[in-house]
Amino acid sequence: MSDRTGKFAGDNPFDIARDWLAEAEISEPNDPNAIALATVDPDGLPNMRMVLLKEIADDGFVFYTNYEGTKGQELAASGKAGFVMHWKSLRRQIRVRGPVERQDGPEADAYYASRSLKSRLGAWASKQSRPLSSRGALMAEVAKVSARHGLNPPRPPFWGGFKIIPVEIEFWADGDFRLHDRFVWRRKGPLDPWGVTRLNP
């Protein structure tokens, strides 16, 4: 008999993740959807940075970025990623690992269009991860793209989404005396059924 009760209960890990995020949106003071995204470079050296998760879909976790920046290139090269989402207010975290696929269709267009004008122009102006001589040079580039694209810039061809389609999702909650609760959902591939295992703290 499973002892996955309370906050761990459910038959779908994406539903559990959405429930936890909804709770964090109430209690976490800043960016409850922030994730520490991990990629690897061609030599296998890890890279990590904070990005904002924009959707927990029925089959994966979606975020947006510049495809030509370091993380975009590393995601394209390896085809895999992982992240951890941690909420100090709830004393919980979620870890996710799996293959990635680009999301550069209508969903990416719609999300880009929903952003503020300055953010949309900034996506055009920034040559993400590449050297920059000064902030003034960046602002000059923003002015150029503003003049070129006006008040309704299209989504740049080098900017869009990635979806991590997990083969592993771990839910962790703090316990007294460091006797934490951990349940990991695993499957061999994105179309395979999930198995759930309780882990030692």
135 catalytic? Reply is no
Catalytic-labelled residue, pool 92, 95, 148, 178? 178
Are 187 and 201 in contact by the 8 Å Cβ rule? The answer is no
H/E/C letters for each residue in the chain? CCCCCHHHCCCCHHHHHHHHHHHHHHHCCCCCCEEEEEEECCCCCEEEEEEEEEEECCCCEEEEEECCCHHHHHHHHHCEEEEEEEECCCCEEEEEEEEEEEECCHHHHHHHHHCCHHHHHHHHHCCCCCCCCCHHHHHHHHHHHHHHHCCCCCCCCCEEEEEECCCEEEEEECCHHHCCEEEEEECCCCCCCCEEEEECC
Count CB atoms within 10 A of the CB of residue 11: 9
**Residues annotated as part of the active site:** 178
